[in-house]
């Protein structure tokens, strides 16, 4: 019998560890000590070996690694539904950027990010990669929630309330990294916004700084057909070719969207080790198109899933996002076997962790990794009968069935109750922001 003062046992109907691939363990338990997975073993054996450990029994649940949302603009939760049914550049130029010019502040980013963390936790996400402004403030909100996060401040060539020029953007990025260097649940990235909003000299400086600091780079790339054609017109080459010549393509780059990529560009990404963050809902909602994800996976590209921000998606729901990612590839390829459930789950967990350089720590449930995991209850009538819990995760269940969430063994949601966050206070602050955006709106108490 093994005993530890901090040991806990989580016993579930099913466990899908992601590694080994396509594995489903029935009636197994996970032993957690010091925030890490000590063992995964049959429940009967676990009860004997860890007889003194407190046990959480999830008799109708599937236990999976915490979902990794590979691309968000978390603070934009406060812009949910602000400018629906607009193409990307109209959405940015006529709605989002003017709203940010008026309202962007540290307070806005904290309140919006806090609201986003609550939604993500309740949707099964334990880790997110964020690109926005005041990322030091976003980092504090993430830490308060208990989530794991990789944060970055968008870098642009024009002024915002956040920074007056490129030098200021870069200075804030490096200062934030130093501030949070010792936080185990945080990583920092550099985030040049997009090829059309960042010049060659700035990109080359970012490459140098990222190498010196050993951090990832996140950038929106080939999101729209207009972006690609306009970039080719301005630079006499497509944006990915331009980025390749500048030296940006490599294993520390997370390329977001990549909707309009041809086979040669896919092969270049694969040979360079570039990671891709796929955001299917946002791409559809903004009319940007459908990324050729099956072709990317077949080429060996590491592809994760992201929701993008609530201003272009309206929800931070990784189960629904991943389901759509799977269905779209089946539809556009005519191959019903494209992106099956286990591969989809791997994209939403381990692939995202790998893109962030966190795959030795999270993304799968194996001994010695951090105990970042969530439980999904499959007992509801909508999930009966259950022949395959992996399939049910994406094709039958919904985020409302996520009941428990742990990060480094800490329970940050229990039976859908957030343990660190005050939901009533967040709703109140959200109402205040709604009045600031639209003073004429009457908001019920």
**What CATH number did the domain enclosing 392 receive?**
2.30.40.10
My answer on whether 188 and 115 are in the same domain is yes
Indicate the residue among 290, 325, 355 that finishes a domain: 355
Nearest to 399 by CA among 320, 283, 285, 295: 320
Q: Residue 364 above 60 pLDDT? A: yes
**Contact in structure between 149 and 186 (CB atoms under 8 Å):** yes
pLDDT band at 5 (very low <50, low <70, confident <90, very high): low
Average pLDDT, the chain: 95
For residue 115, tell me if it sits in a domain: yes
Averaged pLDDT for residues 351-368: 98
My answer on whether 347 and 246 are in the same domain is yes
My answer on whether 86 and 48 are in the same domain is no
In tens, the pLDDT along 43-53 reads 999 999 999 99
My answer on whether 51 and 71 are in the same domain is no
My answer on whether 201 and 272 are in the same domain is yes
My answer on whether 346 and 386 are in the same domain is no
Reported in sequence order, the residue ranges of 66-203 that DSSP labels E, i.e. its strands, are: 67-72, 125-132, 148-155, 186-192
Q: Which domain holds residue 119?
A: 67-355
For residue 94, tell me if it sits in a domain: yes
pLDDT attached to residue 284: 96
My answer on whether 335 and 382 are in the same domain is no
For residue 375, tell me if it sits in a domain: yes
Q: Residue 426 above 80 pLDDT? A: yes
pLDDT band at 95 (very low <50, low <70, confident <90, very high): confident
Averaged pLDDT for residues 298-316: 96
* CATH number for 73: 3.20.20.140
Averaged pLDDT for residues 408-434: 97
pLDDT attached to residue 86: 85
For residue 428, tell me if it sits in a domain: no
For residue 424, tell me if it sits in a domain: no
Q: Residue 4 above 80 pLDDT? A: no
pLDDT band at 440 (very low <50, low <70, confident <90, very high): low
My answer on whether 229 and 178 are in the same domain is yes
My answer on whether 85 and 55 are in the same domain is no
Burial bucket for residue 307 (CB in 10 Å: 0-12, 13-18, 19+): buried
For residue 263, tell me if it sits in a domain: yes
Say which DSSP state 294 is in. H
pLDDT attached to residue 445: 44
pLDDT attached to residue 442: 52
For residue 158, tell me if it sits in a domain: yes
pLDDT band at 6 (very low <50, low <70, confident <90, very high): confident
The rounded distance, in Å, linking the Cα atoms of 280 and 43 is 38
Q: Residue 232 above 70 pLDDT? A: yes
| CA–CA–CA angle 42, 44, 50 (5° rounding) | 90
pLDDT attached to residue 438: 82
Number of structural domains, the chain?
2
The pTM is what? 0.96
The rounded distance, in Å, linking the Cα atoms of 167 and 169 is 6
My answer on whether 338 and 327 are in the same domain is yes
For residue 112, tell me if it sits in a domain: yes
Averaged pLDDT for residues 263-292: 97
In tens, the pLDDT along 48-78 reads 999 999 999 999 999 999 999 999 999 999 9
My answer on whether 286 and 398 are in the same domain is no
* Radius of gyration in angstroms for the set of CA atoms belonging to the chain, rounded to a whole number: 21
Q: Residue 1 above 60 pLDDT? A: no
Q: Which residues are 254's β-sheet partners?
A: 218, 275
The rounded distance, in Å, linking the Cα atoms of 369 and 11 is 18
pLDDT-above-70 percentage for the chain: 98
My answer on whether 38 and 82 are in the same domain is no
């Amino acid at each position: 019998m093994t005993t530890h003062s901090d040991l806990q046992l989580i016993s579930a109907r099913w466990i899908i560890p992601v590694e080994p691939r396509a594995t489903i363990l029935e009636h197994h338990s996970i032993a957690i000590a010091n925030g890490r997975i000590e063992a995964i073993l049959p429940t009967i054996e676990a009860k004997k070996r860890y007889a003194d450990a407190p046990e959480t029994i999830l008799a109708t649940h599937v236990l999976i690694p915490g979902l990794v949302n590979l691309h968000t603009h978390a603070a934009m939760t406060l812009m949910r539904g602000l400018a629906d049914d607009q193409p990307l550049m109209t959405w940015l130029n006529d709605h989002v950027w003017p709203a940010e010019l008026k309202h962007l502040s540290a307070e806005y980013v904290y309140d919006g990010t806090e609201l986003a963390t609550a939604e993500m936790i309740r949707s099964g996400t334990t880790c997110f990669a964020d690109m926005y402004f005041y990322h030091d403030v976003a980092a504090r909100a993430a830490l308060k929630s208990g989530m794991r996060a990789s944060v970055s401040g968008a870098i642009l060539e024009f002024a915002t309330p956040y920074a007056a020029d490129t030098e200021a953007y870069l200075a804030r990025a490096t200062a934030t990294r130093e501030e949070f260097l010792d936080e185990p649940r945080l990583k920092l990235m550099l985030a040049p916004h997009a090829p059309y909003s960042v010049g060659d000299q700035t990109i080359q400086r970012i490459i140098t700084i990222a190498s010196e600091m050993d951090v990832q780079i996140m950038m929106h790339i080939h999101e729209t057909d207009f972006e690609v054609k306009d970039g080719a017109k301005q630079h006499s080459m497509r944006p990915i070719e331009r980025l390749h010549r500048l030296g940006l393509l490599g294993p520390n780059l997370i390329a977001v969207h990549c909707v309009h990529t041809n086979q040669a560009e896919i092969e270049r990404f694969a040979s360079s080790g570039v990671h891709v963050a796929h955001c299917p809902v946002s791409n559809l909602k903004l009319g940007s198109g459908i990324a050729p994800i099956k072709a990317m996976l077949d080429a060996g590209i590491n592809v994760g899933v992201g929701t993008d921000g609530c201003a272009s998606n309206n929800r931070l729901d990784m189960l629904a996002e991943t389901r759509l990612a799977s269905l779209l590839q089946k539809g556009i390829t005519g191959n019903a076997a494209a992106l099956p459930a286990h591969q989809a789950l791997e994209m939403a967990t381990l692939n995202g962790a790998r893109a962030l350089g966190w795959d030795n720590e999270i993304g799968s449930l194996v001994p010695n990794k951090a105990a970042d995991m969530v439980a999904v209850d499959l007992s509801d009538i909508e999930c009966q009968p259950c022949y395959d819990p992996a399939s049910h995760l994406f094709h039958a269940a919904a985020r409302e069935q996520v009941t428990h969430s742990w990060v480094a063994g800490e329970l940050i949601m229990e039976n859908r109750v957030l343990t660190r966050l005050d939901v009533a206070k967040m709703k109140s602050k959200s109402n205040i922001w709604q009045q600031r955006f639209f003073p004429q709106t009457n908001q019920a108490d």
